[in-house]
Amino acid sequence: MSKGAFWLKFGLFTVGLGQSFVFVLVPPLARELGLSEIQTSTIFAISAVAWAMTSAGWGRASDKYGRRNIAILGLVGYAISMVALITPLFLVERNILDVIYLFPLLIMGRLINGIIGSATRPASFAYIADTSTREERTLEFARMESSFLVGTVAGPLLGGALFLITKETPFYLFSALALIASVGIFFNLKQYAPKERDIKVLKISYKSNNVWPFLFLAALTSLCQASLLQSIGFFITDTFSNLNDLPILISISFALISISAIVSQYLFTDLIALNNYKLLILGSFLMIVSYYAMAYANTIAIYYLTLIFNGFGVGMIRPATASSLSLNQLSENQGSAAGYLGSVMPIGHMMVPLIAMPIYTIQPNYLYVFSSGLCILIIFFIIVHPIFKENLID
């Protein structure tokens, strides 16, 4: 692995650290300070809208200005957003700032991540597409995804330990690590951008026949996952309120999903090396089973088991979707394709306050039954659309 690729993976690792810890800490803390479930999910939804609107642009910018520059910009934006997110919570909790300002300031903090932090992922994946062969693409994408997932595992664990010092300590540390990653990328990643490009001939869009099926698949998967991630804290608190140490149980939940996704990626993209079509079918099936079983889990052990199955499914679908999209594009469009994919991945977080949380407020387990139904739609779409069987690498 080149030094440049290492620092890109470390950068995504630092993003994973903060991403998971934010979902663990912010919802219960915001609720404690007076914000509702819908308000809390709206904070993430607005950030997701900004992410969706800017990610494709950052992907195209990486084609023009280079993967290195755009990846660094995204990490700096993420670092700033982490500090901007914890500061108002810190001030309100200490009665330095009136609680009336909490909601808009939290939105502003997450917006920075959505607008600028969205640059790192498309630039990183486009770089991997530039430097890997078609046969290596799925494996390399899975390894890049694993770097992020390792961060999501470590985030709640490391953040929970640092949380004992002060609530803001993990946010400041994760921010500093992102800045260190940006320095490493600057000095070690070779600048790359296609030199010649015929825009009229090579330009792709959301509507392109070799693009939209993968975006549709990613959007449905995103809604399922965002609904789960944003409801875990509420579901465990509401369903298993008789148990002790609920924050720890919530942190373990996030860790289980991420660890199982990492194991899944190693088993099925490296050790067994299934092709993308098989990864998509098997991953979708596991998610159908996991969500349905999750809806009726009556013990924390069974709930954890369903999360493991869910992580296995996600570990197959995400790299297979990204790799399939990449394999269907010309080299000049890798940045644009990665940007388009990045722009639809936050759609789930955008829709959570509009779809998921209203369903959750009616009955918590209805949300997971709904997600199971979406996964049935996913597997049906994969089977009937021919593009998913094209460009298979066995």
The amino acid that residue 380 corresponds to is: F
Report the predicted TM-score, pTM, of the whole model to 2 decimal places: 0.80
Q: 165 is written with which tokens?
A: 């010092």
Q: 394 is written with which tokens?
A: 């066995």
- Tell me whether residue 384 is in a domain: yes
pLDDT at 198: 45
- Tell me whether residue 109 is in a domain: yes
Closest CA to 121 of 172, 175, 55, 211: 55
Closest CA to 380 of 264, 226, 213: 213
DSSP track, 154-201: HHHHHHHHHHTT-TTHHHHHHHHHHHHHHHHHHHHSPP---S---HHH
- In CATH, what number is assigned to the domain containing residue 83? 1.20.1250.20
Cα distance from N-terminal residue to C-terminal residue, the chain:
23
Residue 177's alpha-carbon distances to 78, 152, 249, 278, 307, in angstroms, are 11, 14, 26, 37, 29
| Number of domains within the chain | 1
pLDDT block averages, 10 residues each, the chain of length 394? 87 90 76 78 84 91 91 97 89 86 90 94 92 87 88 82 83 95 93 51 80 94 91 88 83 85 89 90 97 94 96 93 90 87 84 88 94 96 90 56
| CB-based contact 148:361 (threshold 8 Å) | no
Rounded Cα distance between 30 and 102, Å, is: 9
Burial of 387 (C-beta count, 10 Å sphere; 0-12/13-18/19+): middle
pLDDT at 393: 54
| CB-based contact 355:48 (threshold 8 Å) | no
Rounded Cα distance between 102 and 89, Å, is: 7
Rounded Cα distance between 173 and 11, Å, is: 14
- Tell me whether residue 202 is in a domain: no
pLDDT at 199: 44
The residue count for the chain? 394
- Tell me whether residue 73 is in a domain: yes
- Tell me whether residue 196 is in a domain: no
- Tell me whether residue 193 is in a domain: no
Residue 202's alpha-carbon distances to 127, 209, 246, 330, in angstroms, are 18, 13, 52, 8
Q: What are phi and psi of 138, to 5 degrees?
A: -60, -45
- Tell me whether residue 165 is in a domain: yes
Q: What domain range is 384 assigned to?
A: 3-186+207-389
- Tell me whether residue 194 is in a domain: no
